Amino acid sequence: MADEEEAKIESRLEGKDIYSPPEGFKEQANVNDPEIYEYAEENYEEFWADKAERLDWYEKWDEVLKWDPPHAEWFVNGKLNASYNCIDRHVKNGKGDKTAIIWEGEPVDETKEYTFSELQDEVSKFANALKEMGVEKGDIVTFYLPMIPELAIGLLACARIGAPHSVVFGGFSPEALKERINDAESEVLVTADGYYRRGGTIKMWENAEKALKNTPSIDNVVLVDRMERDIEINEERDSYYHELVKDQPAECEPEKMDAEDMLFLMYTSGTTGKPKGVVHTTGGYLTGVSATHNWVFDIKDDDIYWCTADIGWITGHSYIVYGPLANGCTTLMYEGSPDYPEKDRFWEIVEDYEVTKFYTAPTAIRLFMKWGEQYPNEHDLSSLKVLGSVGEPINPKAWKWYHEVIGGGDCPIVDTWWQTETGMMLITPLPGITDLKPGSATKPFPGLRADVFDSQGDSVDTNEGGYLVIKRPWPSMLRTLYQEPERYVETYWSEYENDIYFAGDGARKDEDGYFWVVGRLDDVLNVAGHRLSTMEMESALVDHPAVAEAAVVGKPDELKGQVPVGYVILESGNEPSDELAQELRAHVGEIIGPIGKPAAIRFSDDLPKTRSGKIMRRILKKLEKGESAGDTSTLRNPDIVKELKDKVQ
């Protein structure tokens, strides 16, 4: 039997395992009546209007949804401020002394906490400093920061004055940072001198400086001296964060923003080399992330909520900063790695702070599994009530381990499917209602319509694989791609009718209507939950003088889900060698960042190509999976497949 068939049967058998919400949990859940699905399906706009009412608005909207496919406006003409909603209104409601952010540095015992009142002061001061620098409503501020409180404060400061932020993940390279600053034409960059990682120091400033050599729009750099390193700065351009905010007033009137004003820009990898600037707006985004956070994590006033993502990715934006803070929830941020000083660091944090809701990625869970249960078992994890998973499919074995070893067998697991573009979770359990099946993200959030289509746009049969689509707009959907409106339409809304969102993922729906997401069908890789474009890696490879042609595909990996593998044809005069392979890997790492480094380089004289010369990456993917290449008769050079197969084995 082919592996694929076996896997299918295994996952169907797994599908028979059902975990119902624990009785005690169900009763106390924020939402526990299954009729909510029917209600939201039939009263979609009322449902979302009701969720928007959870926020404070300066002016109410005239219309909940204006849908001119594929362009949506939500809460039309409504006015609000995201920073106000995440901070000030809680202070006004008497929660000023409640802890808003708990920050834990990587060095043990380095912690900081901010109450909502303190956060209000800090955010206002930084907002005033940005204003003084000349940042105005609509100006895009770029952040390149580690997981330190100034990152959350910075985002909220921008939101306060109506300046959209663009956060570039701290692990990205100077090249990637430069490209994103230039695309957004940012005048201000907020960065840091460095940060701790596994006990060592990452010199962030040196990376930022390299990028800054070619970013003509930047007038000001704000530098957080996280490490108090002795570095040379450009006095005219650069100022230290602490000096800038020191004498600023702790009040800053929030801007009244339109619901459809851009809240932030987030670059993400697509199927071409150029990253896409995903645009999220204010009213719909905040409505969507706060509502989903509240229901999916069953948020209570005394929760200590911890999402282990980095704020440099969408998960951190939606579910470390905006969702939790809009809900007045205490959100925990951790700077460092899970194995410093020991492999029990996460569980030590859970125990110390009595974390109640915990959100992480399958790649991390698989790593914990590999390290062994002795690490979590050393700690009291009984405070945990809901466990979340995001970023890639979670295999049933990891799901069950998470449930048993971390959750003690009685915490619902919420496996949440969503994307940078969707802004909020779209396919997810509701822990007080949904019967869970390990490995399935279960069902669309109330009111949403998801389906699995074949290439013709028809729904596929039960348990048949196909393309995941969303058939209704949702409030926190991306509105466009920054400065590329046509690419927005083409990428997401052109595969089928223009009101069908094409997610780029493969999935199947089982006999109970549960969705089983398989992963990307396009040239996007998911490496340890990080989204990377194979095209970006290919451009990085061919950028090296020894490389004539390159193709990058994903290879399944037990821990990381997928790892990139580069197939390379060398320019004549170059010989394959281990040294050259190392050099090419390092070269890609330098251009994209360490996470983009191919796990292996396979040199070859040729690559499988169609008669028109297109590289058949599909065949390379199959080889990496150890599967048969299938029909190669349409290739110009079918013989190369056998040669490559020998190299892979």
With left for phi above 0 and alpha for psi between -120 and 50, is residue 114 left, alpha or beta?
Answer: beta
Alpha-helical segments (H) within 251-395: 283-296, 314-316, 323-326, 345-353, 362-371, 374-377
In angstroms, give the least distance from the CB of 338 to ligand PRX: 18
> Interacting stretch for ligand PRX, rule CB under 6 A, among 114-122, 155-163, 209-217, 500-508?
500-508
Q: Please, which residue, 559 or 581, has the CB nearer to ligand PRX? A: 559
Q: Provide the pairing of β-strand 257-258 with 238-240.
A: unpaired
Binding piece for ligand PRX, criterion CB under 6 A, among 66-74, 145-153, 296-304, 497-505: 497-505
CA-closest candidate to residue 287, choices 167, 151, 163, 447? 447
d(CA 358, CA 365) in angstroms, rounded, equals: 12
Looking at 40-48, 94-102, 143-151, 502-510, which segment touches ligand PRX (CB under 6 A)? 502-510
Residues 538-557 binding ligand PRX (CB under 6 A) are: none
Residues 624 and 555 sit within 8 Å (Cβ to Cβ): yes
Site for ligand PRX in 302-321 (CB under 6 A): 314-315
Chosen residue from 268, 294, 308, 539 binding ligand PRX by CB under 6 A: 268
The number of C-alpha atoms within 13 Å of 580 and in the hemisphere containing its C-beta is 17
Using CA atoms, how far apart are residues 599 and 537, in angstroms rounded to an integer?
Answer: 12
Cα 60 from chain centre: 30
Beta-bridged to residue 365, according to DSSP, are none
CB 601 within 8 A of CB 585: yes
190 sits in the region (left: phi over 0; alpha: psi -120 to 50; else beta) called: beta
Token digits of residue 595: 């996470």
Which of these segments, 35-43, 151-159, 512-520, 623-631, binds ligand PRX (CB under 6 A)?
Answer: 512-520
Using the minimum distance from each CB to ligand PRX, give the nearer residue, 77 or 494.
Answer: 494
Per CB under 6 A, 474 contacts ligand PRX: no
Write phi, then psi, for 590 (nearest 5 degrees): -70, -40
Q: Binding to ligand PRX by residue 390, rule CB under 6 A?
A: yes
Q: Report the nearest approach of ligand PRX to the CB of residue 415 (Å).
A: 5
- Choosing from 106, 238, 505, 523, the residue that interacts with ligand PRX (CB under 6 A) is 505
DSSP string, 465-476: -EEEEE-S--TT
Touching ligand PRX, residues 436-465 (CB under 6 A): 441
CB of 428 to ligand PRX, least distance (A): 8
Does 209 interact with ligand PRX (rule: CB under 6 A)? no
Minimum CB distance to ligand PRX smaller for 336 or for 429: 429
Q: Give the SS3 label for residue 341.
A: coil
Site string for ligand PRX, 415-434 (x = CB under 6 A): xxxxxx--------------
What's the min distance (Å) between Cβ of 264 and ligand PRX?
14
AA identity, residue 120: Q
- Give the residues across from 575 on adjacent strands: none
Q: Which region among 174-182, 368-376, 518-526, 544-552 touches ligand PRX (by CB under 6 A)?
A: 518-526
Scanning 41-49, 387-395, 487-495, 532-540 for contacts with ligand PRX by CB under 6 A, the matching segment is 387-395
Q: Which lies closer to ligand PRX via its Cβ, residue 286 or residue 390?
A: 390
Q: What does the binding site for ligand PRX look like in residue numbers (CB under 6 A)? A: 268, 314-315, 390-393, 415-420, 441, 503-505, 517, 519-520, 526, 531
